[in-house]
Structure 1
């Protein structure tokens, strides 16, 4: 089986020049970016990345009002030239989601980049022990939310759109992560397959689509989930990735440099120059379903 380290010769644990938001080729000047679940963790790192790339407006949604206000306040202080908008929203709330997009329409605001980051981390239990209510709630957040936001994003009257979906290595690592949190692997896999199918039916010129695993970022969600799985997990001793890796990779994913990965699943750690020019590029160009979800062993 191909591993993370054997797939590419070069991987990263932090940001590097090719994905730097200061590169002119990755500039987000003039764009409006909407990030779900953007007030903490990976979503906040991505908001900061787009601000470093000079996005004109960054809208972040979050469930907890005080946490959202604090995040927006910090971003405003750090990036005074960028307009930040906080929207309190539970992405599972269909009425609230409708109101968010309707309000943007009334203000004449078109979203150019949609980052689907909000997710449910699921439960460290077998699926049938967790039960229908918990698992179905994971489907609502990790699958239905993606469809609702992607549809509203796509139907905007704009010429160029970039959809970036935060997926997870749990959709591929059946031996290690999935047995511990099976509901998470199941629903994130379904959500990533949904985004993959949307990409298949959509030209990247109309809406460029890419899913990626952000890496091992120490967030409050990771602390909670890993704490539930193991009381002895060594957070201080684990070699976590720098959060700028996922934040800057998301900016690169919303550029035309990433168009050749339309509909594919990536790791933020993978070196983008090697992806674009190395042996793996040949596989991406020649094999339609390479780095996509399917049934291994069947043609």
Structure 2
């Protein structure tokens, strides 16, 4: 294993694994520059979303827009990000927009407001999500589960559609980065009991990732590049709500997800268009070991039925 050790839930897709950022995905690399671009991060006020926002500021994005449901938290995040930009000597415009991704009126108002201000978004990071509740589906009830579909499926798909259909962006290459989760493929009790105990999260995040996967299937990468990834095990607010403490696991550094998101939005990640990865996987090794397979295997790193290749049994 790499010198940064194992994630709490191990993976062997690459021999080298990462717990924090590393040179190949460092947002300050000139090759990953986001200069001149406007970036929109949903749920960018705290945790992983805040780390992603900070990384795009590091990458010299010209305009960074974050969304959040709580005005006080949003204002605090914008203030902190402006301080970070000043410390990094980055001339980034930081904009906070209050809204709920599950409410279509909020989403439509946001995109209309950006258009009125002449802001065309070049990079969209779908980070906002409703997190896990440790109860069986029938105990949660269909109404609660459907509310999670509104946040984790409808919301991202609505944002993606508005992003793609921006007036004036037709000839501008775009990047869509979808923050997914390992729960979409480790939902069985044999793999991760914690995920199996929270079925509503895996169900809705898998559905949301599949929706974005279909979008990628319909749009060429040079028009809108699409990459989904698991950000790692980061100690964020939902863990606190669950009563966890920072010493429960050796949690991953949020900078790993932040810098990986910038890399995923770059042309270096184009070979992963429409696929799902883990931030922990070493990107150089992924390219070296799997780029050819990605070109020839339409099922690899995509949501689907395990064990079948088209109509045939996988072998």
Is the TM-score greater than 0.5?
yes
TM-score, scaled relative to structure 1 = 0.94
**RMSD in angstroms over aligned alpha carbons?**
1.2
Q: Which moved more, 1:17-26 or 1:174-183?
A: 174-183
| Whole-Å separation in 2 of the counterparts to 1:78 and 1:236 | 27
How do 1:70-149 and structure 2 match up within 5 A? 70-80=76-86, 81-149=91-159
1:253 matched to which residue of 2? 264
1:51 match: 57
Secondary structure in structure 2 of the residue aligned to 1:275: helix
Matched, 1:60 2:73: no
Alpha-carbon distance in structure 1 between the residues aligned to 2:29 and 2:21: 13
Residue 237 of structure 1: how far off its partner (Å):
4.6
Deviations 1:116-175 (A, max 9, x none): 000001321100110012100000000000110000000123221000000000001122
Query: Secondary structure, in 3 states, of the residue corresponding to 1:6?
Result: coil
Map of 1:189-200 to 2, 5 A cutoff? 189-200=206-217
State how many pairs are aligned. Answer: 290
CA distance in structure 1 between the partners assigned to 2:245 and 2:225 by the alignment: 39
2:202 to 179, 182, 185: 185
Structure 1 unaligned runs (5+)? 228-232
- Aligned mate of 2:26, from 7, 10, 20: 20
TM-score, normalised relative to structure 2: 0.90
Q: Deviations over 1:18-37 (max 9, x none)?
A: 00011111000000000000
Tell me, yes or no, if the aligned pair for 1:36 and 1:116 is still in contact at 8 Å: yes
Moved over 3 A (4+): none
Match of 1:238 in 2: 249
Tell me if the contact between 2:239 and 2:245 (Cα under 8 Å) persists in the aligned partners: no
Q: Tell me which residue corresponds to 1:230.
A: none
